[in-house]
Amino acid sequence: MTDTEKYDRQLRLWGEEGQARLEKSHICLINGTATGTETLKNLVLPGIGGFTVVDGNKVSASDLGNNFFLDKSCLGLSRALKVCEFLRELNDRVKGSSCEEDPVHLINEKISFFKEFDLVIANRLPEAALTTLSQYLWEHNIPLVVVVSYGYIGYLRLVVPEHQIVESKPDTPLDDLRIYNPFKELEEMADQLDLKSLNSQQHGHVPYITLMVHLLKKWKVDSNGGKMPSTRDEKESFKKFFISNANSFQDEENFQEGVKGIWKVLQPYSVPSDIVAIMNDPKAANLSSTSDDYWVMVAALKKFHETHQVLPLQGTIPDITADTISYINLQKIYHEKASADLDEFTSIVNSLVSSVGKTLIPSEMIKKFCKNVRFLNLVRYRSLVDEFTPATARSAYMISELEQPDSNLVFYIVLRAVEKFNNIYNRYPGFNDEEVDADIPLLKSCVTSLLNDLSIPTTLVKDDYITEIARYGHCELHNIASLMGGVTSQEVIKLITHQYVPLDNTFIFNGINSTANPYKL
């Protein structure tokens, strides 16, 4: 079976380039727990290049109850080794290896081990070691994904200084047709249109794009002093004028298509605010030989926009009612304009590359960037150090969220307190059944201490939540682990392929009432 056949469905989602990025990636999983293996399973199946499981634990009876990648034959053996063996069976194209070492010891004594990975997934890692690892990876611009399943609660956090996205792939992108401000070639084509000379069949197959450009020009000259419609009354006037030019509006689908999208068409051209923010980013203004290719192309985009007051044309048109010749001719005009814009944009990119002493950016990368300029995105994350340090924590934001009825952020607070508990007592609350009742006040003390550190009123975390978390006894439930593995693997794929917009930055799932919320902590 070829790769195209094997990965057919996912190739439709992220294409050959996205698949190639996946196949080149090497991912590290810290701790082969149920959640960790479920996450890695969903990355091995679509074909990451390789993975390494770091885990110093032996397989215990509790692992068999929630981890489908372990069986009785694994008892007492290395969990990293056995998890790795079972995961490799899922896809023979993926390389897998194991490191049978305590990850905390590895972080404290040989943290450079993690420098060779494209992304690290941390699961069940004590907060002190997690903070140390996150800071190291942050400095080396390596994404860290923290995922935890704790009873019925799931927690996910993405950590990377900056994530650049060229193909954000919005669900319902607007077509870039330039009807309101047509480029010269489109306007010239529309000027040649003579509706009165067309028979009924031809009249009903003029592309609505051509109709719009032609009739807008005629209406603004004849009825609006040469100005485009701006007020609601003017737009209604043009709409009536547009319909009046149909032989039979009910029978001509091209005119119906024009009316259907008329309010979008009558909006002046503007660059989306998030694209403007990216173009005005200091990184685009201060290029150097070490600048990422992304920022060089953003700088080129800004120069292109300053010259033309528009972004490069995408060059595609939707499937519309038209005769074959008219559609092909219209398509050709858009394609040629997009090609000309790409040539100019490429020239600007190459000039900038030369001026800062960088190596040339591949033409295919420039082409992809140019085609997706309206869909660029950029996510800058907060570091875990900033989040965990009381002086820089977003306490006011957390208070506002905790004040909401049944806020899931309360579980974030209690899970942080669980780590405090573990740091103090070297075990997790409720781990042994006979300790649950005694551990509840101890955990509450840790919650109170954390809230005081963050200057958050202690009344915002009810005792019921503390009792619930203590009752879980540090367990993983397979259904929650499976769900969190699915969510986490999707975010990992976004980070690796640089397609679609990843979570920013925390996700909490509440399996008690099946709700979930993102938070910017």
* Domain parsing of the chain, residue ranges: 3-161+476-519, 184-265, 273-380, 384-472
pLDDT tens digits for range 111-132: 999 999 999 999 999 999 999 9
Residue 1 confidence class, pLDDT cut points 50, 70, 90: low
How far is residue 321's CA from residue 329's CA, in Å, rounded to a whole number?
A: 14
Q: Which of 57, 47, 17, 26 is nearest to 121 (CA)?
A: 26
Instruction: Indicate the burial class of 366 (C-beta count within 10 angstroms; 0-12, 13-18, 19 or more).
Output: buried
pLDDT 10s digits, 72-101: 888 888 999 999 999 999 999 999 999 999
Model confidence band, residue 223 (pLDDT cutoffs 50, 70, 90): confident
pLDDT for residue 338: 96
pTM above 0.85, yes or no: yes
Write down the pLDDT at residue 450: 96
Q: How many CB atoms lie within 10 A of CB 314?
A: 21
The full DSSP string for 83-109 is: HHHHHHTT-TTSEEEEE-S-HHHHHHH
pLDDT tens-digit series, residues 399-443: 999 999 889 999 999 999 999 999 999 999 987 767 788 999 999
Strand, coil or helix: 169 = coil
Average pLDDT score over residue span 187-195: 93
Question: Is the pLDDT confidence value at 391 over 90?
Answer: yes
Query: For the chain, what is the mean pLDDT?
Result: 93
H or E element in which residue 30 lies? strand 26-30
Question: Rounded CA gap, 204 and 322, in Å?
Answer: 8
CA distance 27 to 117: 6
Whether the per-residue pLDDT at 8 is higher than 80: the answer is no
Q: What is the mean pLDDT of residues 57-61?
A: 88
At residue 65 the predicted structure's pLDDT band, cuts being 50, 70 and 90, is: confident
| Side chain identity at residue 329, one-letter code | N
Q: What is the mean pLDDT of residues 333-361?
A: 95
Instruction: Check if the beta carbon of residue 134 is closer than 8 Å to that of residue 385.
Output: yes
Q: How far is CA 283 from CA 92, 122, 286, 311, 410, in A?
A: 42, 30, 5, 19, 37
Q: Which CATH architecture has domain 3-161+476-519?
A: 3-Layer(aba) Sandwich (3.40)
Determine the pLDDT at residue 164. Answer: 95
Strands 119-122 and 95-99: unpaired
Please say if the pLDDT value at position 142 is more than 90: yes
Instruction: At 99, give phi and psi (nearest 5°).
Output: -125, 105
Return the DSSP state at 204.
Answer: T
Q: What share of the chain is helix, strand, coil (3-state, %, to 5)?
A: 55, 10, 35
State pLDDT tens for residues 261-279.
Answer: 888 888 888 999 999 999 9
Res 368: pLDDT: 94
pLDDT over threshold 80, residue 3: no
Q: What is the pLDDT of residues 312-325, one digit of tens each?
A: 999 999 999 999 99
Is the pLDDT at 48 greater than 80? The verdict is yes
pLDDT of residue 225: 87
Helix (H, G, I), strand (E, B) or coil at 192: coil
pLDDT, residue 2, reads 67
